[in-house]
Amino acid sequence: MLQGILYETISSDAAGATVRLLPDSPVYQGHFPGYPITPGVCLVDIALELISERAGRPVRLAAAKNIKFTSPVIPSGETQLRFNLSGEGTVRTVEVLSGETLCAKMTLTVE
């Protein structure tokens, strides 16, 4: 679980959630010292945690398709990411935005 370690949820609504990255997270000590970048796998994990919250139960990743990381996510004390979540049932589409910049887009199948 990355909430409280890598991010905190600022707000959530019917379309998704906004999170703030925690730049002092131990994740950034190894990825990369002096120039921290949020690992793509962490963005996928955050999306899964947010989907789990919305589902009211833990979900597990069954498949990931069309994952595209389009812009690096560099943490600072002010870095907020918007996770737009759409889809129903087991297939979810996720867009990750930093302001107006699309950072990642993915289609996740959960169970």
How far apart CA 83 and CA 93 sit, in angstroms, is 10
| pLDDT at site 33 | 80
Distance CA 56, CA 48 (A): 12
- Beta-carbon contacts of 100 under 8 Å, excluding residues fewer than 6 positions away, are none
Of the options 3.30.360.10, 3.10.129.10, 3.40.50.300, 2.60.40.10, the CATH number for the domain spanning 7-110: 3.10.129.10
Predicted local distance difference test score (pLDDT) of residue 77: 80
The model carries a pTM of 0.95
pLDDT digits (tens, 9 = 90+) for 35-80: 999 999 999 999 999 999 999 999 999 999 999 999 999 998 889 9
What six digits make up the tokens of 45? 């994990």
Helix, strand, coil shares of the chain, percent, nearest 5, are 20, 45, 40
How does pLDDT run across 86-108, given as a tens digit for each residue?
998 999 999 999 999 999 999 99
